[in-house]
Structure 1
């Protein structure tokens, strides 16, 4: 059973301020994300494409000189499994014996560029697209087909406002938001830069990762997996901040997280549900 704190917790960064999951609304900047330039959604190399379950780029045609004998190249290793393209909406359920259903992830962000709003109907909810293969089920990029911004088209992770560093671990309340991001290198640790809407919306620079998802084709679960700065992959726990924050967050220790923020936020799962027109 998860521990729940009922009193305010003193912020470690400042002894005079209680920890809050998100920055104050006063920190928001006036940015129209709908007019921001689009970001690339295609991996640039075959290695990256294979790692994401995508087919290789079209090869360049060789033009050997006439009469020149071309030695046979050694046989290459077996090709990776054929990629499978998947489209779905995301159903949110509580991790409990009853599997309480919260609804479908909305195509709209909250005001900080975080995914969190949900809706009861599958129609019009967030639709995602991704590729995977049976030998590549991790480090997947989820593309928001009907997302709010073409500049941040991926559903990735951005470090939390009061996280003490870029790593998740047992014993730490550190967390990241599920946000709109650009594409970061496959399997890389957190990347600094202009790569997430949270930073644009608040002016607070935070590192992000896009290829954080693992897909289970048996259960249809989509599970987050953060890569720490040292390359380690701690156990991740997906949590729904279903109060005024209205955000999905991920932590490495849900007990410490709940104690720190004094909230009984529920643990949840993401299930990939085929669109009704599929």
Structure 2
């Protein structure tokens, strides 16, 4: 016959396990979680800070560099005359409903996803190759996770089908995260910051960005049948999120995962 203390321990353990199981399916507010629950994540090492010229620092609201007493000043890279495009360097301004204007952060959250910051000194530094009449481009990052040199889209953990397609008929979504460079096409199961941080394999795409004349940034996800759909940016905070996602049906996504903050992204030159 079990003693009273042992019975109490078993009862407590039973309630703890049942509570954990419930938290993996829905949050306390009844919505599904955007990220896996109950896992141990791995911290991702950031890249070393990049050198910024005085003009770049002042444009970001930072003080100028200290005077260089010895050696030659650092030189800035310029496209060669034979270049087929012009490399533009800057960061991503984020205008987020009910959060104000800020930037996509250089620091990823615990799940390896890029978030939001009001501090310009913590903004993600990016570059891309601008071509006339070009469609989508790759966006390189210089101060994100050290293992991933590009900003891309990573299929959401909570997506409803194995193909991870984004279209107006479902609530599927994709995170903004660090990815490897891939050719334009359907998502590939390759290394990315979400998978590296969580151990959960999810496919990703890199060549998904378009930057218009007003430097407005849009994204497109290539589905398994080659189709694409207009995507909207949402920002989530709370429940350990602090992340940006894209979706083809913002209403259905928010009905499933909870209210997000509509966002627009704009390239700002450094």
Taking structure 1 as the reference length, the TM-score comes to 0.69
- Matched ranges for 1:128-167 at <5 A: 128-136=126-134, 138-149=135-146, 151-165=147-161, 166-167=164-165
Distance 1:30 1:89 in 2: 26
Choose the corresponding residue for 1:91, options 90, 93, 100. Answer: 93
Higher relative contact order (CA 8 A, sep 6+): 1
For residue 104 of structure 1, report the CA deviation from its aligned partner.
1.4
Larger % of strand: which?
Answer: 2
Q: Is the 8 A contact 1:88 1:273 kept in 2?
A: yes
Larger % of helix: which?
Answer: 2
- Matched ranges for 1:1-278 at <5 A: 17-18=25-26, 19-24=32-37, 26-30=38-42, 33=45, 82-94=84-96, 101-118=100-117, 120-136=118-134, 138-149=135-146, 151-165=147-161, 166-185=164-183, 187-193=184-190, 195-216=191-212, 218-244=213-239, 245-263=241-259, 265-275=260-270
Q: Is the 8 A contact 2:128 2:140 kept in 1?
A: yes
Distance 2:211 2:87 in 1: 12
Distance 1:20 1:89 in 2: 29
SS of 1:199 mapped into structure 2 = helix
Q: Is the 8 A contact 2:167 2:228 kept in 1?
A: no
SS of 2:181 mapped into structure 1 = coil
Distance 1:100 1:169 in 2: 27
Relative to structure 1, is the Cα distance of residues 228 and 102 closer, same or farther in structure 2, using a 3 angstrom cutoff?
same
SS of 2:107 mapped into structure 1 = coil
Distance 2:40 2:200 in 1: 10
Relative to structure 1, is the Cα distance of residues 255 and 100 closer, same or farther in structure 2, using a 3 angstrom cutoff?
same
Distance 1:259 1:121 in 2: 31
Corresponding pairs, count: 209
Task: Give unmatched runs, 5+ long, in structure 1.
Answer: 1-13, 36-53, 59-80
For residue 84 of structure 1, report the CA deviation from its aligned partner.
1.9
SS of 2:261 mapped into structure 1 = coil
Q: Is the 8 A contact 2:93 2:268 kept in 1?
A: yes
Root-mean-square deviation (CA), in Å? Answer: 2.5
SS of 2:187 mapped into structure 1 = coil
Relative to structure 1, is the Cα distance of residues 171 and 102 closer, same or farther in structure 2, using a 3 angstrom cutoff?
same
Q: Is the 8 A contact 2:46 2:144 kept in 1?
A: no
